[in-house]
Structure 1
Amino acid sequence: MSNENGPWEGRVAFVTGAVTGIGLGVAQAFSDAGMRLALSYRNEKDKLKTAQWFTDRGREEPLFVKLDVTDRARFAEVASEVSEHFGEIHVLVNNAGVSVFGPTDKATYDDYDWIMGVNFGGVVNSLVSFLPYLKEATGRRHVVNIASMAAFLPGPQAGIYTASKFAVRGLTESLRYNLAPHGIGCSLCCPALTRTNAWTSAMKRPAGFGESGFPETSAEQLAEFGTAFEVGMNPREVGDKILKGMTQQHGLILTHPEHGPDFKEIYEASMAALPDEAVPEARLRIEELRRDAMRKAEQGIGTDLADLT
């Protein structure tokens, strides 16, 4: 994709879950790059603290919008509000999520519906609500969906969380090819351990999803689990790396260098699992058509089903 769409200064960005953690790190990095911001939040105290960060630096105050990312009607209202306030919307960052863990074999429908509803459904709701506005805008535009290294690395206590992040990964990698012909960049960001309060998600479970099959976890146990996050990467560093990846039009933004051994293992296991046998020419041709369609999309050339046979 072309990297000649102009600077980020003056571009309007909407970021979900943006008053703490990685969302706040992204907002700060974007602000330092001269972008104008609309930020979603749930907690009033966190919002006030974030607003003070902008005031202390003499920056334009963001448009703060209260939002539950599972609320589709409210999402549509927010997209309209942001458009009316700024005129155009150029950047969309889907960051809001919950980090909830427990043995997948004991999970209930409520466990699945809550975690998938926020982590995957929230991204879906954002895309449906905001993409029409990004397509109408001009100049440099970009979508970033923030998943997790769990999009590549499953864990024994993170089955539903992992499923939600795999889903965001698959959606984003496909969406990139759909948005390229519109001149809109698209990136998947997969951070690893970051200094956030994500571990408190289990304490914020909505009453409507109260029937959990996961073993009850005490506040003390959660706090102990939270100590792991204290050694994580500074969220602002994650935000800076996301901005850099957007600028360089990277489809995949990895922020933590410590996972090289994991990717090597995935690669080697995947290659070893491939059957060592001849492939019919007709099947080879279909796969090459798919690869060609992906290359064309990267160049901003649209494709349809007829191009795949």
Structure 2
Amino acid sequence: MSWENKTAFITAGVSGIGFGLARALSNAGIRLALSYRNEEHKEAASRWFADQGREQPLFVKLDVQDRARFGEVADEVADHFGKLHVLINNAGVSVFGPTDEASYADYDWIMGVNFGGVVNGLVSFIPKLKQHGEGGHIVNVASMAAFLAGPQAGIYTASKFAVRGLTDSLRYNLAPHKIGVSLMCPGLTRTNAWDSALKRPDDFKDSGFAPADKSELEQFGTAFDAGMDPLEVGEKTLKGMTENRGLILTHPEFAEDFKKIYEESVAALPNEEVPEGRLHIEKLRRDTMKAAEAGIITGLSDLT
């Protein structure tokens, strides 16, 4: 797909990885709508576009957990541009703590933003992407946590695993509509994502985690200084979109982890004969996945 004069909506597109994505897409000639919550970040983003002599994005204020507002934003974006071709669900919170101490509020907030925000974006915008019939692309931003668990990141990891599973499945559904779907999993990136716990909404204040310690978080934030430039993440994402890759990995330093996942997974499979009936069903599943990826609409009847 040629991206020139295409249009894109990016959630949380005025800072961090979102702004890296916005700059990369703008450099490719894509017109932009960007959601924001922080006015200072919005103004800084606006200045960058002005300094580059670029068209100002359509800035829309949005809490990705607000379904009603998301629906309004989808209409605003479609009305403003006439057509929407790219949706990037990028908004997220990076909040950590021992999973065994988590409260309902911890689950509701982290899952609500990191997974629920993606769901709200898909439900609100997929009809807009289908409407014009020109095709397009969806990128759901997850994290390497979609593959790698950690003792302090249980809910965060669960949210990213959920985004991964949803994205992998959605790719098959939208292929017949010429809409590509990618899961983008960045590693350490030079952003302020470390300060999410300091922005906890009052609606989710009853945390099971210890109160956020600003100095401790700032020390943790120094690790992010070694991260990849968000623009590089954005450029690699655009390349993956152009190649219609289902999985976009931006950081090369995880080969050891993926090798371990593969070896442990294969080793966990029982070494025994499989009945013909089960082999047949799994062959049908694989055939159906290939057909769906090729753009053929499939259904439950194709699985038996």
Name the structure 1 match of 2:296: 301
SS at match of 2:253: helix
Matches for 1:225-236 after TM superposition, within 5 Å: 225-236=220-231
1:74 lines up with 2:69 in the alignment: yes
Q: Which whole-Å CA distance do the structure 2 matches of 1:217 and 1:15 have between them? A: 29
Partner of 2:126: 131
Q: Distance in 2 between matches of 1:121 and 1:140?
A: 25
Q: Is 1:63–2:45 an aligned residue pair?
A: no
2:217 pairs with one of 222, 228, 237:
222
Q: Secondary structure at the match of 2:254?
A: helix
For the 8 Å contact 1:8–1:140, the answer to whether it is kept is no
- Residue identity in the other structure for 1:299: A
SS in 2 for 1:257: coil
**Bigger mean CA deviation after superposition, 294-303 or 107-116:** 294-303
Match of 2:91 in 1: 96
Residues 1:84 and 2:74 are matched in the alignment: no
Q: Answer yes or no: is the 8 Å Cα contact 2:95–2:196 preserved in 1.
A: yes
Matches of residues 15-94 of structure 1 in structure 2 within 5 Å? 15-94=10-89
Does 2:141 align with 1:146? yes
Structure 1: distance between partners of 2:105 and 2:60: 27
* Structure 2 residue identity aligned to 1:132: P
Q: Aligned residue for 1:200?
A: 195
Q: Which runs of 5+ in 1 are unaligned?
A: 1-5
Q: Does 1:249 align with 2:244?
A: yes
Alignment counterpart, residue 287 of structure 1, candidates 282, 287, 291: 282
Match of 1:121 in 2: 116
Within 1, Cα distance between the matches of 2:280 and 2:26?
A: 47
Consecutive unaligned residues of structure 2, counting only runs of 5 or more, are: none
| Partners of 2:10 and 2:90 within 8 A in 1 | yes
Deviation at 1:139, TM superposition (A): 2.5
Are positions 1:276 and 2:271 aligned together?
Answer: yes
Distance (Å, rounded) in 1 between the aligned partners of 2:157 and 2:113: 13
Aligned-pair CA distance for 1:157: 0.1
Identity %: 69
* TM-aligned CA deviation for residue 58 of structure 1: 0.8
> Residues 22 and 93 of structure 1: is their aligned pair in 2 closer, same or farther, counting only changes over 3 Å?
same
Q: Give how far 1:297 is off.
A: 1.2
Q: Hey, what's the Cα distance between the residues in 2 that align with 1:33 and 1:203?
A: 35
Letter in 1 for 2:181: C
**Correspondence for 1:105:** 100
Aligned partner letter, 2:100: D
DSSP 3-state at the match of 1:93: strand
Aligned-partner SS, 1:26: helix
AA aligned opposite 1:130: F
CA contact (8 A) 1:7 1:140 kept: no
Output the aligned Cα RMSD: 0.6
In 2, Cα distance between the equivalents of 1:242 and 1:95? 12
Amino acid at match of 1:222: L
> Alpha-carbon deviation of 1:215?
1.4
Partner in structure 2 of residue 3 of structure 1: none
How far apart in 2 are the matches of 1:8 and 1:138?
A: 15
Deviating runs (4+, > 4 A) in structure 1? none
Q: Distance in 2 between matches of 1:217 and 1:86?
A: 41
Residue by residue over 1:95-138, the C-alpha shift from the partner in whole angstroms, topping out at 9 and shown as x without a partner, is 00000000000000000000000000000000000000000123
* Residue-by-residue CA offset, 1:12-42 (whole Å, 9 max, x unaligned): 1000010001100000000000000000000
Using the TM superposition, give the Cα deviation of residue 218 of structure 1 relative to its aligned residue in structure 2, in angstroms.
Answer: 1.4
Q: Find the aligned partners of 2:94 and 2:294 in 1 and give their Cα distance.
A: 36
Match of 1:170 in 2: 165
Partner residue of 1:179? 174
Alignment of 1:239 with 2:259, yes or no, is: no
Q: Are 1:13 and 2:8 counterparts?
A: yes
**Deviation digits for residues 146-186 of structure 1 (CA, Å, limit 9, x no counterpart):** 00000000000000000000000000000000000111000
